[in-house]
Structure 1
């Protein structure tokens, strides 16, 4: 029995188990019965000849052998996807699934880039995951995607990071705020006003904290909010000032907010296109990389310019 190879279905179910950590949730996600999931997992354990997971109440914890099986299964499914894309490429068809994970602020500009890219290659599908920095680092560590977008990428021996877009941080106030009539503004004056800040650990917050430490100032943190959209609404409601990526403002009309002219602002930052060293790029991933290098930045600049003139 140990000489048999696991089936793709068994590996698919085991990958789902590694993600959901619960057999009943795996059954729901894959639309199969719970007994069927249990049988397939038992068969996989028998084939590999080692305990792959332990059940702790309703939760499942993978063993070291289970983690090894998960990594091999991911590589196997990635290779199959790559094969399909390369075969389609030989036929002259650009198709397949482009897998991207981005931190939440990048959702303001990445759909614009993807829109133009998908128009050019209408047969492709895009799997776009948006999350906070810790969520996306977790996906990076699991090698789940073709590319990741960070303003501050993870420190890792497995990282390839390429700057591709400026990410200036600006101070934002309600359009009728008193500071809009007193510009330019010193940091000393700015420190007297309440601020709405992103959560600790976000790329924007890390940049702000580094800036405050460098200039020896302390902002009056009134609220911590994990959403840029919620921060903008809160600023418009006159709950405080905020420091946000200009990309959260650049691509839409919003007369309720004003960007303040503050000394040392905008803060300089970068967006990075990140991938893991141990993931072979598919034809589709290479196409997207080439598109970003050649046309992505100019596409965003055109839209931002049109908005400014609009």
Structure 2
């Protein structure tokens, strides 16, 4: 098969946009030029790559297979570019990083600390809930993944690097804020705001509630941490959220952390990748940074704790 990289780039743009015209805009081509490239690919593959159902464009099975192969080719070329830069005594390229939504507050600062010593490295960051991140791991879409609660039924390498404390929060005027000490069961009469199914925070909390025999009959599902945080501020209920996600609200007094004896619930953030995966030079350098620069990572933990560091 005499495929060209140009054809694969055009094909990938059509896959991403689900539109010949939008792909043409992205590639600075005419729509007939895009159609021609796709038609030539279909002749090489011997099968149709796209089909219209109504007015929507869908990928055929052949297109899905070709897109996966193209992604592998582009990754290998990126890795080659990094290796050639490394041979010249410099690290250059892009780190494709996927993170659970709770980690999106920490991940950019973690990368920024890494980039202090690697000025020519860029970041491609994807954020999703736990279910979406696991799917990306299965598809090998990223260089590295940051998540908690690493799946035990998958062949994965992982490096824990930072605690992810989950705490109970309430608006300042809530009656539970007056209590000097609480038990988890003391929260049961109140409405609990929860994330959507597939969220790592929700999974961790549900398993913990079962372990502690806590039952919340009144819940309200909210599908983002930002909306969940604002709903607590608005007085719609209590929530269990990663302290990193509410650090600014805690520091400003917009939210209060409830003194629940069984909390925080600690889970560790981990850098994860499929076992046997050949890491790019940039991914190897990022992993080495996390393994070796504990002081910088601990400083990040203090910054996102929602508390002031102790005076000396």
Alignment TM-score, normalising by the size of structure 1: 0.89
Secondary structure of the residue aligned to 1:120 is coil
What does residue 85 of structure 2 align with?
A: 88
Between the aligned partners of 2:218 and 2:108, the Cα distance in structure 1 is 31
Aligned-residue offset at 1:152: 3.1
Check the 8 A contact 1:171/1:242 in 2, yes or no: yes
Aligned-residue offset at 1:119: 1.7
Check the 8 A contact 1:54/1:63 in 2, yes or no: yes
- The structure-2 alpha-carbon separation of the partners of 1:107 and 1:176, relative to structure 1 and needing over 3 Å to count, comes to same
Between the aligned partners of 1:169 and 1:224, the Cα distance in structure 2 is 17
- The structure-2 alpha-carbon separation of the partners of 1:24 and 1:54, relative to structure 1 and needing over 3 Å to count, comes to same
- Which sits farther off after the overlay, 243-252 or 39-48? 243-252
Check the 8 A contact 1:251/1:307 in 2, yes or no: no
Aligned-residue offset at 1:141: 3.1
Please list every run of at least 4 consecutive aligned residues from structure 1 whose deviation after the TM superposition is greater than 4 angstroms.
Answer: 304-307
Between the aligned partners of 1:60 and 1:156, the Cα distance in structure 2 is 35
Between the aligned partners of 2:38 and 2:3, the Cα distance in structure 1 is 10
What does residue 293 of structure 1 align with?
A: 291
1:182-197 maps to which residues of 2 (within 5 A)? Answer: 182-197=179-194
Aligned-residue offset at 1:16: 2.6
CA RMSD of superposed structures (Å): 2.4
Match of 2:66 among 66, 69, 72: 69
What does residue 156 of structure 2 align with?
A: 159
- Which sits farther off after the overlay, 289-298 or 220-229? 220-229
Q: Kindly provide the CA deviation profile for residues 141-178 of structure 1, in whole angstroms up to 9, marking residues without a partner as x.
A: 33221111122345664533332222121111122322
Match of 2:111 among 107, 110, 114: 114
Flag structure 2 segments of 5+ consecutive residues without an equivalent. Answer: none
- Which sits farther off after the overlay, 52-61 or 71-80? 52-61
Between the aligned partners of 1:103 and 1:221, the Cα distance in structure 2 is 26
Are 1:6 and 2:28 counterparts? no
- Which sits farther off after the overlay, 143-152 or 73-82? 143-152
Aligned-residue offset at 1:78: 0.8
Alignment TM-score, normalising by the size of structure 2: 0.89
- Which sits farther off after the overlay, 154-163 or 87-96? 154-163
Check the 8 A contact 2:302/2:309 in 1, yes or no: no
Check the 8 A contact 1:85/1:96 in 2, yes or no: yes
**Alignment length, in residue pairs?**
307
What does residue 245 of structure 1 align with?
A: 242
- The structure-2 alpha-carbon separation of the partners of 1:84 and 1:229, relative to structure 1 and needing over 3 Å to count, comes to same
Aligned-residue offset at 1:187: 2.6
Between the aligned partners of 1:278 and 1:25, the Cα distance in structure 2 is 37
Between the aligned partners of 1:128 and 1:257, the Cα distance in structure 2 is 28
Check the 8 A contact 1:52/1:65 in 2, yes or no: yes
Between the aligned partners of 1:159 and 1:64, the Cα distance in structure 2 is 27
- The structure-2 alpha-carbon separation of the partners of 1:84 and 1:46, relative to structure 1 and needing over 3 Å to count, comes to same
What does residue 130 of structure 1 align with?
A: 127
- The structure-2 alpha-carbon separation of the partners of 1:41 and 1:16, relative to structure 1 and needing over 3 Å to count, comes to same
Q: Kindly provide the CA deviation profile for residues 108-146 of structure 1, in whole angstroms up to 9, marking residues without a partner as x.
A: 111111111122211111111122333333433332211
Secondary structure of the residue aligned to 1:261 is coil
Between the aligned partners of 1:303 and 1:268, the Cα distance in structure 2 is 17
Between the aligned partners of 2:137 and 2:259, the Cα distance in structure 1 is 37
Secondary structure of the residue aligned to 1:55 is strand
Match of 1:217 among 198, 201, 214: 214
Are 1:40 and 2:4 counterparts? no
Check the 8 A contact 2:229/2:246 in 1, yes or no: no
- Which sits farther off after the overlay, 172-181 or 195-204? 172-181
1:196-211 maps to which residues of 2 (within 5 A)? Answer: 196-211=193-208
Aligned-residue offset at 1:302: 4.6
Check the 8 A contact 2:243/2:305 in 1, yes or no: no
Check the 8 A contact 1:165/1:270 in 2, yes or no: yes
Secondary structure of the residue aligned to 2:29 is coil
What does residue 166 of structure 2 align with?
A: 169
